[in-house]
Amino acid sequence: PPPFTGVWMGDSKLCAIGVHCGNHITSHGLALNCCTDLTWFEHIVPCGLEGKGVTSLSHELGQRIAVSHVLEPFLDSFQEVFDCSLVSSEDPG
């Protein structure tokens, strides 16, 4: 529940999920930390949550996990869970 939205590994956030509403437009998105440089988070209070941290797939699995490694499986799972078909803006037509 809020404010702990997203995907968590213990006390560390692995994936942030957000929604923004403004000017009659709603946008949403997520940020899955794959191989993020986590040292940047040492200078802020991530998501405004004192005592909580941030992690990444690479950190948790002990090997470099690039976005390119997770993109296709993620999109496949998204389509399955939400029973939809995704169309890339790079696809002609």
State yes or no: is 47 an active-site residue: yes
With 90 as the cut, is the pLDDT of residue 85 above it?
yes
State the catalytic residue, choosing from 15, 35, 47, 84.
Answer: 47
Quick one: tokens of 28?
A: 């949403």
Q: In terms of pTM, does the model score above 0.75?
A: yes
Under the banding of pLDDT at 50, 70 and 90, the label for residue 2 is low
What's the pLDDT at 19? 87
Higher pLDDT, 49 or 7: 7
In the chain, where are the structural domains located?
7-82
pLDDT at 33: 95
What does the DSSP assignment read for 25-79? EEEEEEEE-SS--GGGGGGS-GGG-TT-EE--HHHHHTS---HHHHHHHHHHHHH
